[in-house]
Amino acid sequence: MEVQEPGKCPRVHGLVESSIYVRDLPRARDFYQRVLGLRPAGETSSARLNAFWVGPGQVLLICRRGGSLNAIELRGGRIPPHDGRGPLHLALGVDEDSREEWRNRLASHEVSLTGEVDWSTGGWSLYFDDPDGHAIELKSSDWHGRPIGTPV
């Protein structure tokens, strides 16, 4: 088997979807829609998962814990089993000038902040837990301090 050199690896274009796993799917769906304002990604509600748009071409899958332990056979192929346990972390990009608006929105939904950072490179983050204890971050900058949405 031939090993490819690092420079010859095909390009990755971004994160298309990622999953978190929850105990109560309707409760999580309500939280992500009502509190964070995420829009469903098509007709994807099921007893097993819900999908939400989080950015252009980016989907967050909210999966029922234990609901994907078996492979799913489709006409076009097979989806392997997956699941997760414990508190996970995800960061959602937000506008630089939306900090107070987010503080007020979270407070109005009785969501308490668990952390807050003003990054030395620029931007800020607000942290809070979702109903399953996942650490959610609203972040106004990328890892280099550039405002979200700034071309790299």
Residue range 30-65, pLDDT digits in tens: 999 999 999 999 776 678 899 999 999 999 999 999
Neighbours of 119 (CB within 10 A): 14
Question: What pLDDT is recorded for position 8?
Answer: 80
Q: How confident is the model at residue 152 (pLDDT cuts 50, 70, 90)?
A: low
Question: What pLDDT is recorded for position 145?
Answer: 93
Please state whether beta strands 39-40 and 113-118 pair in parallel, antiparallel, or not at all (unpaired). Answer: unpaired
Residue range 91-136, pLDDT digits in tens: 999 999 999 999 999 999 999 999 999 999 999 999 999 999 999 9
Question: What pLDDT is recorded for position 12?
Answer: 85
What residue segments make up the domains of the chain, in order of their start? 14-66, 87-152
Question: What pLDDT is recorded for position 10?
Answer: 87
CATH of 87-152, one of 3.10.180.10, 3.40.50.150, 3.30.420.40, 3.40.605.10: 3.10.180.10
Question: What pLDDT is recorded for position 151?
Answer: 73
Class of domain 14-66 (CATH, top level): alpha beta
Angstrom distance (rounded) from CA 79 to CA 68? 9
Angstrom distance (rounded) from CA 41 to CA 12? 22
pTM: 0.88
Question: What pLDDT is recorded for position 31?
Answer: 98
